[in-house]
């Protein structure tokens, strides 16, 4: 079956590799596909080559902001994670080393999506959700919880292309899968076409 582009304005793009909110900007998001990145709010800005802003060549597996750090992001690709701050991207670290993960609990490579939110129960710390296949892991207070089935808690089977919290709300998430997106605020709504998301 032929894959239909999400929007004629971005020909050839049938899904996104990663999505994350733009730090310090309300309801503005970065969308990544291959080696291109778009800034989106009510439409698509002209794409730019990922390396011009992020240094690392695409595609990315996932990207997420670091809550409480207005200009910091984690970029995930394969076994590695990079810390980006402003126009500086620091040398890669193994994901298991950066997050001090037990490799017996999580195969640390090629994650489908990563999402981060502030930890409301522990000021100054953050929660990270790692998604891979049909499972996800919650990482909080330097502890990685046992894997859980995505569909049981998120209302939709994996794998996901991207997950990100809605700007300004740590309890509502956008889930991206193919050309569709879903909203989860404890219950799932969707699917809706991504074109409708950015026009809303």
Instruction: For residue 53, report the phi and psi dihedrals to the nearest 5 degrees.
Output: -115, -30
Look at residue 81 in the predicted model and tell me its pLDDT.
Answer: 94
Residue 29 is assigned to a structural domain of this protein: yes
* pLDDT at residue number 167: 66
pTM (2 d.p.): 0.87
* Residues 6+ positions from 134 with CB-CB distance below 8 Å: 149, 150, 151, 157, 158, 159
In angstroms, the CA 148 to CA 108 distance is: 16
pLDDT, one tens digit per residue, over 166-199 is: 865 568 899 999 888 999 988 898 898 877 665 5
pLDDT at 99: 86
The pLDDT score that the predictor gives to residue 3 is: 46
183: domain range? 18-199
Residue range 42-68, pLDDT digits in tens: 667 778 888 888 888 889 999 998 887
Q: Considering the domain boundaries, does residue 140 fall inside one? A: yes
Instruction: Tell me the average pLDDT across 128-153.
Output: 90
Residue percentage of the chain with pLDDT more than 90: 34
Residue 1: predicted pLDDT: 37
How many domains does one find in the chain?
Answer: 1
pLDDT at 2 over 50: no
Give the separation between CA 138 and CA 125, rounded to whole angstroms.
Answer: 13
pLDDT band at 6; cut points 50, 70, 90:
low
What CATH number is given to the structural domain containing 108?
2.110.10.10
Q: Is the residue at 4 inside a domain? A: no
Q: What is the mean pLDDT of the chain?
A: 83
Establish if 13 belongs to a structural domain. Answer: no
φ and ψ of 197, to 5 deg: -60, -50
């Amino acid at each position: 079956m032929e894959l239909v582009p999400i929007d004629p304005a971005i020909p050839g793009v049938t899904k996104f590799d990663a999505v994350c909110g733009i730090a310090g900007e309300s309801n503005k998001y970065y969308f990544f596909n291959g080696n291109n990145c778009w800034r989106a709010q009510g439409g698509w800005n002209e794409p730019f080559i990922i390396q011009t802003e992020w240094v690392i060549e695409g595609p990315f597996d996932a990207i997420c902001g670091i809550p409480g750090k207005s200009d910091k992001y984690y970029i995930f690709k394969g076994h590695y994670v990079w810390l980006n701050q402003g126009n500086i991207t620091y040398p890669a670290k193994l994901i298991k080393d950066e997050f001090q993960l037990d490799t017996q609990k999580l195969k640390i490579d090629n994650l489908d999506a990563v999402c981060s939110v502030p930890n409301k129960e522990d000021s100054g710390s953050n929660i990270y959700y790692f998604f891979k296949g049909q499972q996800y892991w919650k990482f909080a207070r330097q502890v990685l919880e046992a894997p859980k089935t995505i569909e049981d808690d998120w209302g939709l089977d994996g794998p996901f292309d991207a997950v990100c919290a809605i700007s300004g709300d740590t309890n509502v998430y956008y889930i991206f899968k193919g050309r569709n997106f879903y909203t989860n605020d404890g219950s799932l709504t969707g699917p809706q076409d991504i074109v409708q998301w950015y026009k809303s």
